Structure 1
Amino acid sequence: MSDTAAPALKHIFDPARLRHIAAETAAVYPRFDSKEFLKLALKDLDDLSLMQRLRRTTECLHATLPADYPKAIAILRKLAPRINSGFVTLVLPDYVGLYGRDDFDTSMEALKFFTAFGSSEFAIREFIRQDPARTLAVMKTWAKDESEHVRRLASEGSRPRLPWSFRLDTLMADPELAAPILEALKADSALYVRKSVANHLNDITKLHPEWVLKRLKSWPLDNPHTAWIARHALRTLIKQGDKQALGVIGAGKKAAVSISDFSVAPKKLKLGERLALSFTLQSTSRQSQRLVVDYAIHYVKKAGSSSAKVFKLKELTLAAGDSVALSRSQVVRDFTTRVHHAGRHEVDIMVNGERLASGFFELLKP
């Protein structure tokens, strides 16, 4: 896992939490050396980031639990329901990923068990990287498990580009390897699972868009669960105006519409102020239309050029001759992934992938 979280989150692993872990571990394993655990865990804690603190906790448990791996896992299984934070339970599968790679069967059962308390999505990737065929074979059975947590693990853990984790080169090169998992979950009843399947497929669109489009076209899109997955799986391609992707969700035809009263306000604003967009969308067709309405802001870069960022606005079915007023507002502020620069920012309205209106605002210098 990489460390891209906000610094404040590191306090999830504060001294009080570490003392809680020590006390609960001692409750299920009386021989546990709480004093040694805390001595190791609290050393230079202030200097550690969130993910460093998580890993430190894992290492300190390993230093103070039995050296015998199955015995340590048995203790951690008793500990899992006693930990008072879902995020903190990530320490348990992290232990498996770090120390259990030579005991495959014990580790698979442990990860399956731990995922219901937080998630084993990061740790399972260590095993996929080490032995993809054997690990994916187990995960295919998880895709049919009664627990939605286990089913989600099958999809989320095998995502090619899982955030906060390393990329799985094998699956990035050949998405067919995890296809049986996605097939088993294509109409899952749990939204928790469907979100993972959609994100998994969206990962794949960035390298193998044709593979995803072909698979989705073969799925029963009249099933509302499957249709939901398809819409969210294709979000990146839809923002790019990909006609095949738009066609899958029923919006592949050129939109017969006009746009009036397009407003971008205020025309000049400072960082931290709110930008408001509004316009009227009028049908010029004699038939109802499925429409995907997006807007793009062309953010000015430091060197003066610009780069467009597409935002979702509305998906709708517009009846023949009807019109609809649409609006959206957002605060213009810096993020860790985007720093704003002063200058003229173009704003486009796109319907079914085509630009139909343009405006602009000027971001003033601080």
Structure 2
Amino acid sequence: MAEAFKNLINAEVVRQAGQHLRRVWPAFDQRRFERLALDGLDDLEFKARAQHLGLALLATMPDDFHHAADVLEASFKPVIHVEDPDKELGLLRTDDTGLAGWVLWPVGEFIAQRGLEHPERALQALHALTQRFTAEFAIRPIIVAHPELSLRTLAGWTTDPSAHVRRLVSEGSRPRLPWGLRLKALVLDPTPTLPLLEALQDDASEYVRRSVANHLNDIAKDHPERLADWLECHLPDAPLTRQRLLRHASRTLIKQGHGRTLSLWGLGAALDGSVRWQVSPKRVAIGESVALSLTLASTSASPQILEIDYTVHHARAQGGASAKTFKGWRVSLAPGETLQLAKSHSMRPVTTRRYHPGEHQIDLRINGQTVAQAGFKLTA
């Protein structure tokens, strides 16, 4: 059985942090830090562990933030330069040369709290930290407290040599970053970050471009017409890398059947043909899977590009249903062609989703329009 995710922050991580902090600052009270950090750690989940270690740092690091930031930066592992930043992430682990990886989440928590009154130095420290882990969570309180300085700094970072820093520009300012503080001002009006995204959407690193796509998708959830405007401006004659980015950025609106977005991707037209949609078996237990079967028959004289999704209406514990849309297929249906497609859909519980017994309906959506329905009964 795989080890619990929360155990990435454990007693050994605490010990390593204490050793490296004392290595670069002999006055550091390593024993007190470890006592505070380990007290109750095993009872906490992952994010709470990071916050708990952050509190231990707040209690034991120098009161002077500039001094504390100097100590922290000195404890970091030297920067690793690898052509592919995704591969580089796997190398970001603490060793004898310094701190890197998950141990730096608590360091980010410390910087986010103690550094609010010293934003320029805090941003400088996060610039160093993000090259050894990520600072996407830690930078958000600073953006809230000091928006003008933060956005001006992020604009300068769009041309930084480090892909990790350039990614932070986009990821740190995402309005709805999972696990992160919601940036309510940017949820209401994303205008301030649009120049940052424009500067990064053709970045040489896919690692950075993927973040830009997710940021644009965040914007689409609250301002669908803004995303459609972006597509209208940046999709025509776009290079392949930008097309892929914009496609990923459009995923929520495509699933929702947003007419203008579908049209910009050439997906606005309804299916010209017939559909046979089946779900089997009709009775399945939690933890098992259902088979989805689709037969499309074209009656059109022209090729059709079809974006096919399906929406599962999950039974709720207290009654009613909760809808969740899943990616199906993207196909080109030739004139007169009959096409058969199949997919397995798991009903195994995961961290982000629990299932409850009851009737489940699955809607088939083609180019944003519901064209067929089928269902099954989920049992305990």
Return the TM-score normalized by structure 1.
0.91
Judge conservation of contact 1:7–1:50 (CA < 8 Å) in 2.
no
- The CA distance in 1 between the partners of 2:54 and 2:3, in whole Å, is 20
Aligned partners of 1:80, 1:248: CA distance in 2, in Å?
Answer: 46
Check the 8 A contact 2:126/2:139 in 1, yes or no.
yes
Please give the residue correspondences for 1:153-302 in structure 2 after superposition, counting only pairs within 5 Å.
153-221=168-236, 222-260=238-276, 262-302=277-317
* Structure 2 residue corresponding to 1:30, chosen from 19, 26, 46: 26
Q: How far is the alpha carbon of 1:266 from its aligned partner?
A: 0.9
Shift, 1:335, TM fit: 4.1
Taking the aligned partners of 2:333 and 2:368, their CA distance within structure 1 comes to 16
- Structure 1's 200 and 7: CA in aligned 2 closer, same or farther, altered over 3 A? farther
Q: Is the 8 A contact 1:346 1:358 kept in 2?
A: yes
Contact 2:302–2:335, Cα closer than 8 Å, also in 1 = yes
Q: Distance in 1 between matches of 2:323 and 2:33?
A: 50
Q: In structure 2, give the amino acid aligned to 1:59.
A: L
Tell me by how many angstroms 1:302 deviates: 3.3
* Residue 81 of structure 2: aligned partner: none
Amino acid corresponding to residue 26 of structure 2 in structure 1: P
Q: Deviations over 1:208-240 (max 9, x none)?
A: 111121122101443222211221112111111
Counterpart secondary structure, 2:375:
strand
Q: How much is the aligned-residue C-alpha RMSD, in angstroms?
A: 2.1
2-side partners of 1:259 and 1:363: how far apart? 25
Paired residues of 1:297 and 1:348 also in contact (CA < 8 A): yes
CA distance in 1, matches of 2:107, 2:337: 56
Work out the CA distance in 2 between the residues paired with 1:80 and 1:324.
56
Find the aligned partners of 2:3 and 2:66 in 1 and give their Cα distance: 35
Q: Return the offset for 1:125.
A: 0.9
Give the Cα separation in 2 of the matches to 1:17 and 1:215. 44
Residue 74 (structure 1) shift: 1.7
1:322 maps to 2:337? yes
Q: Partner letter of residue 113 of structure 2?
A: L
Partner of 2:84: none
The answer to whether the 8 Å contact 1:185/1:197 transfers is: yes
Structure 2 CA distance for aligned equivalents of residues 111 and 315 of structure 1? 40
Paired residues, number: 359
Amino acid of the residue matched to residue 53 of structure 1?
A: R
- Determine if contact 1:295/1:311 at 8 Å carries over to the other structure: yes
Matched residue, 1:310: 325
Mapped to 1, the partners of 2:26 and 2:356 lie a distance apart of: 58
What's 1:128 paired with?
A: 143
Distance 1:289 1:57 in 2: 55
Identity %: 39
Secondary structure at the aligned position of 1:252 is classed as coil
Question: Aligned partners of 2:172, 2:55: CA distance in 1, in Å?
Answer: 22
Shift of 1:102: 1.7
Q: Tell me by how many angstroms 1:336 deviates.
A: 5.0
Q: Is the 8 A contact 2:41 2:52 kept in 1?
A: no
Partner of 1:361: 376
Structure 1 unmatched ranges of 5 or more? 1-5
Do residues 43 (structure 1) and 39 (structure 2) align? yes
Alpha-carbon distance, 1:354 to partner:
1.7
Question: TM-score if structure 2 supplies the norm length?
Answer: 0.88
Q: Is the 8 A contact 1:259 1:280 kept in 2?
A: yes
Q: Higher mean Cα deviation, 141-150 or 151-160?
A: 141-150
Decide whether the 8 Å contact of 1:299 with 1:307 is kept in 2.
yes
2:160 aligns with one of 145, 149, 154: 145
Q: CA deviation at 1:115?
A: 0.6
Summarize deviations over 1:84-121 as a string: whole Å, max 9, x none. 55222222222211111122221111111111111111
Q: Report the residue type matching 2:50 in the other structure.
A: L
Deviation at 1:154, TM superposition (A): 0.7
